[in-house]
Amino acid sequence: MFLRISAYSILLLAVASAQSASAQQRLEFEVASIRSNPPTNFHFGADSGKADFSSPEMFRCSKCTLATLIATAFNLQSYQIPGRASLGNNTFEVAAKIPDGATAQQVPAMLQSLLKERFGLTYHFVDKPMKGYLLTVAKSGSKLKESEGAARPHASTGGQGHSHEGLVSFRGSSSFRGGQKTMADLRQIISDHLGLPVDDQTNLNGKYDITLSWSGSAAPSAGGHGEGGWSGGGAGHGDHSSAGPLASRDDAGGPTLFDALQSQLGLKLVPTERAAARILIVDHATQQPTAN
C-alpha cells in the first residue's frame, strides 16, 4: 500500500510539474485591450509611442506602432527590425492585466503571446554582419578595476552623476554605475545608446566596477576617438542621425560617449562594417488586431 501511494504521489507531482512548466511556456496577460487610434495625417514613425512598465498590475503602451510593440516584446533596437516600415504607421492604445504573482521579467513574454494571438505575428531570427562598432582596449591601456567581493552601493557623488546602480539620462547627460559588471554588460549599454550593434573585442573577462559619464550626441569627436564614425538612432534613445562626426559636446560641455569611454575607462570604439547583429524577420503580421 505504501509503495502504491508513493508512486501515485510521485505521479501527481510529475503531472503538476508538467502543468506548471506548460503554464510558464504560455505566459499570457489575464485580459488585454488593444484600441486603434483615429487616423491622422501626422507621421509617427516606426518607433513611436512609449511602453509603461511602472505598474505591477497593468502593462500599457500609448500611441504605439506595431513595430514599437514588437521591439518592446523582444527587447530590440530599431536596427534589429529591418522590415518595420512594412508594419505600417497605425498606432494603438494597449492596456493588459498582468497576472498576480507575475514578475516584471515575464511581461515581455506575455506581450509576445499577445502579438501572436491578436496580430497573427510570426517571425524568425537571423544573425548577420552590419555597420556598427568594435569595443577595444585603447592604446593607453584599460583603466577598469576588477570588482572585489559582492557588488556594493556607490557612495554619493556630490552632484556628479548618480549614487545608485544603473543608467540615468537627464537633459542631454547620461551616466552609468554598476558593480560586478562584465564587458557583455557594458557592450549592451553602449549598443542600446548608439542604436547600433557593438562587438566586444577587449578580451577582458573579469567583472568590474564601472562608472561612466557622458553628454550630448553619440557621435565621435573631431579628435577621432572613433575615426570615421557614424551616429546611431535606436528605439528609445532618440534619433542621432543628424549629428555628424564633428559633434562631441552639448551645451553642458561634457564628453561624448566615445570620448568618455577612452578617458574614463581606457576603452575605444572602432567603426566596422561587420558587427554581429541578431535580426528579427517578420514573416507575417496583420495591420489591425483581432477584436477585443
pLDDT by residue for the chain (292 residues), tens only, comes to 444 555 555 544 554 454 444 444 569 999 999 999 987 655 544 456 888 988 999 999 999 999 999 999 999 998 999 988 899 999 999 999 999 999 999 999 999 999 999 999 999 999 999 999 999 999 999 999 999 876 554 443 334 444 568 888 888 889 999 999 999 999 999 999 899 999 999 999 999 999 999 996 554 433 333 333 443 444 433 333 333 333 344 445 789 999 999 999 999 999 999 999 999 999 999 999 999 9
- Please, are residues 89 and 39 in contact by the beta-carbon 8 Å criterion? no
* Helix (H) or strand (E) run with residue 244 in it: none
Residue 37: the pLDDT is: 92
Could you tell me the three cell numbers for 22? 506548460
Instruction: State the pairing for strand pair 267-284/32-36.
Output: unpaired
> How far apart are the C-alpha atoms of 173 and 96, rounded to whole Å?
33
Residue 251: the pLDDT is: 47
Spatial neighbors of 210 by CB under 8 A, at least 6 apart, are 144, 176, 177, 178, 179, 181, 185, 186, 265
Residue 39: the pLDDT is: 75
> How far apart are the C-alpha atoms of 205 and 231, rounded to whole Å?
28
Spatial neighbors of 29 by CB under 8 A, at least 6 apart, are 59, 96, 97, 98, 99, 110, 111, 113, 114
> How far apart are the C-alpha atoms of 202 and 136, rounded to whole Å?
5
φ/ψ of residue 249, rounded to 5: -140, 145
Give burial (CB, 10 Å; 0-12/13-18/19+) of 203. exposed
Residue 150: the pLDDT is: 62
Residue 101: the pLDDT is: 93
Spatial neighbors of 16 by CB under 8 A, at least 6 apart, are none
Spatial neighbors of 100 by CB under 8 A, at least 6 apart, are none
Residue 159: the pLDDT is: 40
> How far apart are the C-alpha atoms of 101 and 23, rounded to whole Å?
13
Residue 50: the pLDDT is: 83
Name the amino acid, one letter, at 27: L
Name the amino acid, one letter, at 72: T
Report pTM.
Answer: 0.71
